[in-house]
Chain A
Amino acid sequence: MEAITCPECEAIQPAGSAFCENCGVKLVVAEKGSGRGAAYERSRARQEFGRIKQTVLIVRSVFWAMSAFAGLLVLLWFVALGQLGELGGNWRLALTVLVWGQLAVTIAGALLVTRAPLVWTTVGACWWTLDTVLNVWLGGLAPMNVFRLVLMVSFWFAVAQAARVQRLMAADPSLQLVRKRLDPELRTKGGIADTVQSRQRDDRRRTGRRRLAMFGVVALGLVAVVLVIGMVTRPPTVDATVQAFAERWARGDAEAIGQLFEEGAAGRRATSLRDDLEQRGWNAASPRLGEPEVVPAEGSALVHFPCGDGRLSVGFRYDERAGWLLTQVTLPPFEVPDLAPGIDAFRRAWAADGTDALVACLRPASRERLGTSLQRLLEKRDWHRQRPVLGDVDPGQPGRDRRKVLFALGNDELGVLFEFWHPQWVVVGVTLPRE
């Protein structure tokens, strides 16, 4: 027997060979592309095509979804046109072209992506990238924008898949992304067309079920991803800060409580809180707080503590950098003692010789400043040794921690401003009658 020359690659093959050992062409049928090598290539290409064509079909679904959204925008634009009235310049034309253009491009994408997968997937990827970049720029890395970024990267990988799909389709024209319709003449009842049709129907059902399952899995995955992102980016609960507040309160450490405010212990709100606590005598020994009741809100929380007979309300606000911050502390109302002993003490001090007893009635924190001023005024009227006798008194409105008391002084009045600073009423201001 004679040796054979391969018609494909022209390699010399041993006699009796059915296939070329170099290129795999079937030697008895001397045709190009008929060998096992070519068949192997085709089979591999079909397998790969079956695997990656889903990507293009998903892109088509995305285009349909986008076109539904664009259609909604067109409807909204028609509604808006009636409300807007006249628009200056080319705005009306420009916006009309924009909304209709979006609709046209998305529908074209959905229809043509199966014919030219690479070009239309690239259009989708570019568009999505533009939208994502704008959203990230405007809204930062919110969970939805992180999701958009993930989709953007996926879109660019879909471009790679679309390129391979297009290449495989070009190499083997029998590979198509959409099924071709059967020729109507072939559709005879019970004939091969029916068999093919029923097989196709079964295929479609199977594919539909598979897609539905895949969609379910993807949807579950996305929900899980969004939940995880939400959990990671969610602010921590206010509990730790509430606990810290309660501990500092129990220690009676007003300075440490003030540090929980945004502006620190030296700020206006911290100073005001310290004054309030001092006024009630809670700076040294504060009353015990009960179990907190937290009322959460978006980025803030209001916490109520049972405190004696009343309720202490504390407001917190979440800051991304500093964490939970104290915004307000509302102390429970408190009962002030009777003012009468304070008024009596002032009468005695006014009737006494000299000004020392009077100055002793003033609030210790402002005694030096007010005392000097009062002494100067009394000296001016020559009242610094002996003063006229005080008459009847009008004790002002009861039940408040700050009261203005009026004493009759001859034909005029002496105004004295009292404030309750634990444990007694003290004088914080004196208005002498006109000279």
Chain B
Amino acid sequence: MSAHCASCGAPRPVAARFCGACGAPTAEHRRVLLHGVRADRLRTQRAALALGVACAGTLFGLLGGSDLVAGADDGWPTVLVGSASVFVAALAASLVLGELRATLPLTASWRWCVAALPTAMLSLAAAWILTAYLWSADAAMPTAARWIGVVVLAPLGEEWLCRGAAWRAANVLASPRSALLLTAILFAFLHGLGGGYLLELPHRFVAGLLFGWLRWRSGSLLPGVLAHGLHNLGAMCLA
């Protein structure tokens, strides 16, 4: 059985994808190619939207949450509402991306978990240098809620958001190296609601790069969560 090329009219086998005489793709094969392009475009848009949801969702959540608990003391309501907004934004970004399970890789070797300690110390040093000369927020009273919020809940939520959902989305958009940069940028801007506005960003960007490097090399969220928790613990102790 044979068909004819729509471009040059030469006969060609039905199963052929290109014309043997002029090399033009068959209509079916052109559709397949275009379908691939459209699918790729759609996936890219979903990934960008997931990043946008992660960013805008967290910022709106944090400000909306602060309105919700306005007047309450700096205790459990503030901590829980703040953490919930980060978790909800991470969940929403994962759902927009359509890969909820893939945003939570938690298996890591013990070597990388150990590497979390020097990484945390490095990020803490960077943060100390930058905050000593530029901007440091007033230290709040260290309550139990605050300790748990900063040392446990914030690392879990933020790592899932930035190194989980956003990392996965950024990997769809570009190479892992670019993903490292993108998630560090996102991580820095998510901290822009602190009193220092853009001055809050530089040391968060450095920390984001370090935690992202852990995520990249280990392939897991766990070392990043540990490093982030240790960093926050150190910062609380120093404050």
Contacts and interface: CB of A to CB of B under 8 A. Distances in A.
Interface of A: 13-14, 17-24, 26, 35-37, 39-41, 44, 48, 90, 93-94, 97-98, 101-102, 118-119, 122-123, 125-127, 129-130, 132-134, 136-137, 152-153, 155-157, 159-160, 163-164, 166-167
Given A14-B20, A133-B59, A156 B134 contact: no
State the majority secondary structure of interface residues on A: helix
A22 B198 contact: no
Contacts of A137: 63, 67
A152 B52 CA distance: 9
A270 B98 CA distance: 60
Interface string B50-89: 0110011001100100010000000000000000000000
Interface string B7-50: 00000110011111111110000100100010001001101110
Q: Which 6 residue pairs spanning A and B have beta carbons closest together?
A: A36-B23, A156-B52, A19-B23, A21-B16, A160-B48, A24-B18
A153 B49 CA distance: 8
B178 interface: yes
A13 B20 contact: yes
Contacts of B41: 160, 164
Nearest to B17: A22
Given A122-B182, A163-B44, A153 B52 contact: yes
Contact of A36 (B13, B24, B51, B192): B24
Contact of A44 (B37, B173, B174, B199): B37
14 contacts: A20-B20, A21-B16, A97-B199, A101-B198, A101-B199, A118-B182, A122-B182, A122-B186, A126-B185, A130-B192, A134-B63, A160-B45, A163-B47, A164-B44
B177 to A, nearest CB: 10
B128 interface: no
A93 B132 CA distance: 11
A104 B21 CA distance: 57
Contacts, number: 146
Contacts of B178: 118-119, 166
B173 A163 contact: yes
B29 to A, nearest CB: 9
A90 B134 contact: yes
A155 B189 CA distance: 15
Nearest to B66: A137
B235 interface: no
Contacts of B60: 133, 136
Contact of A126 (B13, B134, B189): B189
A163 B106 CA distance: 28
A11 to B, nearest CB: 10
Nearest to A19: B23
Given A122-B51, A159-B48, A36 B18 contact: yes
